[in-house]
A and B are shown apart, each in its own frame.
Chain A
Amino acid sequence: MTWETVIGLEVHAQLATKSKLFSGSATAYGAPPNTQACSVDLGLPGVLPVLNEEAVYMACKFGLSINANVALRSVFARKNYFYPDLPKGYQISQYELPVVERGNLLIELEDYEKVIGITRAHLEEDAGKSLHEDFQGLTGIDLNRAGTPLLEIVSEPDMRSAKEAIAYMKKLHSLVRYLGICDGNMQEGSFRCDANVSVRPKGQETLGTRAELKNLNSFRFVERAINYEVDRQISILESGGTVLQETRLYDADKNETRSMRSKEEANDYRYFPDPDLLPLIIEPDFLQEVKSHLPELPNDKKQRFINDYGLSAYDASVLTASRELADYFEETVQTSSSDAKLCANWVMGDLSASLNKYNLEITQAPISAAHLAGILRRITDNTISGKIAKQVFELMWDGAGNADEIIEKQGLKQVTDTSLIEKIIDDVIANNPTQLADYRSDKDKLFGFFVGQVMKLSKGKANPAQVNELLKKKLS
């Protein structure tokens, strides 16, 4: 039997607000335990929540960017359960009426595109952290994270493979960073994902029983966990068993998922509207304000790159994958006044290769866009050849200074003096009589050899176009 995989993702994006969703405490990562938890975060008797407007602004931004309906009235509810790092004994979330409903996101794979539905996105507060290691049989509680604003983004079960799930997650990751609403840092937990995975015989309409996979804190883990889970479910079904609806934890070390709790053990969260908070009413003016300040979105940017810079769809796609990369590219084009295609080739070629090699993000590149533009400017005005430019790039990467300084110091300036080039050509011809004879009997074959010799003697600095032109004349 052939099986079809069905995947829906729940992504928690931590909103990049300065303060918490319902209190004034800071949200910065990594502070000493419990130094960023005020009386509201601690759930002291008598305290009350007050909604952070910036978080609402960010949720609206997200809603508008995925073509969703931003609800003008949404409701905060309490999700009740006991856990030591949940100070109030309930989490304030949105349940029946979320702030964002019914959106979609276009994902691109190698040879096709697909629209993934987004059921809803709602605002909720994060819990604190339980620390089990350092306290010898006791548990420490750090409430710095308690109350941090999250946007939970729930997709439709529209994905049919781990690859599609990854493509969706990466697209979402790029989008929230584009919007400036989440730093996307997966190690720090700012962007987390749970996956609902089921399988069904191909052609069957009804969905199979799903498992919810938790603890998927990298793109790689998402892919591995899904693939593991799909294999597990198929082998259960093929051996005549039934898949249980349950929550499963992904263990990255063992690369397996294991049961956390079954449906029967699931909490009854006793959701009800939080009486401490009035319904969230978003005025149309507020939404208009958000709309007018919406940054250019990835797809619009990609289209503009194609139209304005004459890039191929593929190049435009690669360069708009993150806002930072797109910004880097545009700055390079603008400061170098060079051909956009040349800029694209350098950003996607040498620069990206070096970043990959050293495992760096574009924001950590040792060569700034302005410095790279300096190299490209000198290629465009024929000061250096493309080949020399690579040398300059290497030196620049190692911190040797700006393009002009490197060219000057290393004497890499291109030779354009015709007489100088002619003299080299004459030497090469004189030194290679055999090749000359061969060339003259079978023209095209050895032209490259002579170019190579001339370039070698000029230490790569002779202007290649001039070399070509003069050589042709001299050899004929």
Chain B
Amino acid sequence: MHKKTLLELSQTLRKREISSVELTRYFLSRIERYDSQLNSFITITPELALQQAQLADDSYKAGTADLLTGIPLAHKDIFCTLGVKTSCGSKMLDNFIAPYNATVVEKCQAAGMVMLGKTNMDEFAMGSSNETSYYGAVKNPWDTAAVPGGSSGGSAAAVAAGIAPIATGTDTGGSIRQPAALCGLTGLKPTYGTVSRYGMIAFASSLDQGGPIAKTAEDAALLLNVMTGFDQRDSTSLDRPTEDYTAHLQRDIKGLKIGLPKEYFGEGLDHEVAKVLEAAIKELEQAGASLHEIHLPNTHLAVPVYYIIAPAECSSNLSRYDGVRFGYRCENPKDLIDMYKRSRGEAFGAEVKRRIMIGTYALSAGYYDAYYLKAQQLRRLISNDFQQAFQQVDVILGPTSPSVAFNLGEKANDPVTMYLSDIYTIATNLAGIPALSIPAGFVNQRPVGLQLLGNYFSEARLLNIAHQYQQRTDWHQQKPQGFA
């Protein structure tokens, strides 16, 4: 049952071969059985899940069920869930019971989906390995000595181990795509403004975007259909006609022009990973795509620009965690300043503090022009690189991550090396364009992710290519051992 795709599960439910309550119990028991090895969930919500499953079964009986009604999913613990702890992976919000549902949560609920629980993540989504979580590191199902990637590491690990059929994630600099790559999954970061950010706890507002982490491109398209849509509560949400992202999955990709940026295949990319990608590229060529070498000359600026803009925004976004109204407050504060200092000092982890410090510095009087303003200007250049490339090619192909999953603890004390592991994913967030990662092979039994980048609103096209690739390969069907 846990190997089934969403459409297969949907059919099983529709035929009443299984009820949603039974399906939900099945996944809850898998969580119970396997998650102690993975630590992929922060909160499991069995009662709520079974209630929702019962409602789903009722709507099947009443004949009002939608395509995904009754299918369980897991939400990254960054999405606010009414009446359920929403920690964002931080001690700061360990006691925070959200009094409202995020738009994404609301939409999934309205589609009849069943929430199994909230998945582990890097604290406030700041991290690429899931090691910054207050709730402990998450382990990669392919090798529990390895990280699952981050920040949506819990979601990726849960789906990869088949303890959740699908999950939501968020991506600020690669936080959906990189863990999807490291766990052998399909993860998509949509065009900025496509998925509402309302109720999605902000890390860097101009970069954050929610999206699906799934076993297949088709599954990702189905959940994306549910997650997207204009939301008047988010001023950066785009008011566009709704789209069916599954509509073009079956199209062949003859004549597709794929751009291969020179900068994505040079120094820094693991040789073995490069070989895996070469094979995948050949596969796409055989399917009718043409290959074109392109340049994204400002690629080298992406990491430094990102590490000004994201911390600047986070330093302000995280100011609300002051111990006054909600969240952690230190014991016996002497006075106001003591309360601020100790509440924040005791509840934020090292990586969050580091980024708040960087961001505060970058925005300070006298430094603003040299850092923040400069970074915004360079951001425009990075964005222009893509626009120029998309005049020549339909999509851009590259690695998702320079290497396969690294070992737990390997980079934890070296933030710069850790930041560099996001080199291929960060530029898309800066430009606001969509990108996805799909499994393309293995190096040392650890999955390799292939990344496809498209122009604004090209999600359907990207999913189409991914689906066609998955029709020709079976990398996405490989399962880690030990989670039968």
Chain A residues engaging chain B, CB cutoff 8 angstroms: 39, 42-51, 78, 80, 82, 84, 87-90, 139, 141, 268, 270-272, 275-278
Which stretch (B311-319, B441-449, B457-465, B474-482) binds chain A? B311-319
Bound complex: CA A45 to CA B327 (Å): 10
Q: Please, could you name 26 A-B residue pairs with CB atoms under 8 Å apart, sorted by A?
A: A42-B325, A42-B326, A44-B80, A45-B96, A45-B320, A45-B326, A46-B200, A48-B197, A48-B235, A50-B232, A80-B319, A87-B320, A89-B319, A89-B320, A89-B322, A268-B365, A270-B315, A270-B363, A270-B365, A271-B363, A271-B368, A272-B363, A275-B206, A275-B236, A276-B202, A277-B236
CB of B197 within 8 A of CB of A43, answer: no
Using Cβ atoms and an 8 Å threshold, which residues of chain B touch A46? Answer: 79-80, 86, 98, 102, 198-202
Given A39-B100, A47-B198, are A275 and B320 also a contact pair (CB < 8 Å)? no
Residue positions of B touching A, CB distance < 8 A = 79-80, 86, 88, 93, 96, 98-100, 102, 197-202, 204-206, 232-236, 312-313, 315-316, 318-320, 322, 324-326, 336, 340, 360, 363-365, 368, 372
Find out whether the CB atom of A82 lies under 8 angstroms from the CB atom of B93.
no
Given A270-B364, A275-B206, CB of A82 within 8 Å of CB of B322: yes
Q: Which of the residues A39, A82, A141, A268 comes within 8 Å of B364, measured between beta carbons?
A: A268
The answer for the CA separation of A46 and B93 in the assembled complex, in Å, is 12
> Nearest chain-A residue to B363 (Cβ)?
A270
Kindly identify which residue among A49, A90, A141 contacts B235, using a CB–CB cutoff of 8 Å. Answer: A49
Contact B319–A88 (Cβ < 8 Å): yes
A272 touches B336 (CB 8 A): no
Instruction: Give bound CA distance, A88 to B324, whole Å.
Output: 11
A45: which of B93, B204, B236, B368 is its contact (CB, 8 Å)?
A: B93
Q: Roughly how many angstroms separate A87 CA and B321 CA in the complex, as a whole number?
A: 9
Interface of A is mostly: loop
CB neighbours (8 Å) of B79 from chain A are: 46
Which applies to chain B's interface (DSSP): helix, strand, loop or mixed?
loop
**Distance, CA A271 to CA B102, complexed state (A):** 28
Are A272 and B312 in touch, CB under 8 angstroms?
A: yes
Q: How far is the CA of A278 from the CA of B206 in the complex (A)?
A: 10
Q: In the assembled complex, which residues on chain B have CB atoms less than 8 Å from the CB atom of A80?
A: 315-316, 319, 363
Q: Assess the B372–A87 pair: CB atoms within 8 A.
A: no
Assess the B80–A45 pair: CB atoms within 8 A.
Answer: yes
Q: B431 → chain A, closest Cβ, in Å?
A: 15
The listed residue (B96, B235, B316, B340) touching A277 by CB distance below 8 A is B235
A88, closest chain B residue (CB): B320
Given contacts A48-B234, A270-B315, could you give 7 more A-B pairs where the C-beta distance is less than 8 Å?
A: A80-B316, A82-B340, A89-B319, A271-B363, A271-B368, A272-B312, A275-B204
How many angstroms from the CA of A257 to the CA of B37 in the assembled complex?
66
Q: Is the CB of A45 within 8 A of B316?
A: no
Which residues of the other chain, B, contact A276 by a CB distance below 8 angstroms? 202, 205, 235-236
Q: A90 and B326 in contact (CB under 8 A), knowing A270-B363, A276-B205?
A: no
Docked-complex contact B316 and A270, CB < 8 angstroms: yes
Interface centre among B199, B200, B315, B319 (most CB of A within 10 A): B319
* B200 surroundings in chain A (CB, below 8 A): 46
Which residues on A sit within 8 Å (CB–CB) of B315?
80, 270
Write the nearest CB–CB distance from B271 to chain A, whole angstroms. Answer: 39
CA–CA, A275 to B372, complex, Å? 13
Complex Cα distance A78/B313, Å? 10
Closest Cβ of chain A to B348, distance in Å, is: 13
Which residues of chain B are near A84, meaning CB under 8 Å?
Answer: 322, 324, 336
For A23, the closest partner residue in chain B by CB is: B233
The chain A residue sitting closest to B200, CB to CB, is A46
- A44-B100 Cα distance, complex, nearest whole Å: 10
Known: A45-B80, A50-B232, A50-B233. A270 touches B86 (CB 8 A): no
Please give the distance in Å from B211's CB to the nearest CB on chain A.
17
**Contact yes or no, B236 A278, CB < 8 A:** yes
Distance in angstroms between the alpha carbons of A207 and B21 in the assembled complex: 77
Check A43/B235 contact, CB under 8 A, given A270-B363, A270-B364, A272-B372: no
Ranked nearest first, the 8 interchain pairs of A and B with the lowest CB-CB distance are A89-B319, A275-B205, A270-B363, A275-B206, A46-B199, A43-B320, A45-B201, A46-B80
A271 / chain B contacts, CB cutoff of 8 Å: 363, 368
**Chain B residue, CB-CB nearest to A89:** B319
A84 to B313, CA, bound (A): 21
Residues of chain B within 8 A of A272, CB atoms compared: 312, 316, 363, 368, 372
User: Which residues on the A side are within 8 Å of B319 (C-beta)?
Assistant: 80, 82, 88-90
A50 CA to B231 CA in the complex, in Å? 11
Other-chain residue from B312, B316, B340 in contact with A90 (beta carbon distance below 8 A): B316
Q: Closest Cβ of chain B: how far from A345's Cβ, in Å?
A: 55
Which residue of A is nearest B231, CB measured? Answer: A48
Q: Is the CB of B99 within 8 A of A39?
A: yes
Which of A44, A51, A82 is close to B326, meaning CB atoms less than 8 Å apart? Answer: A44
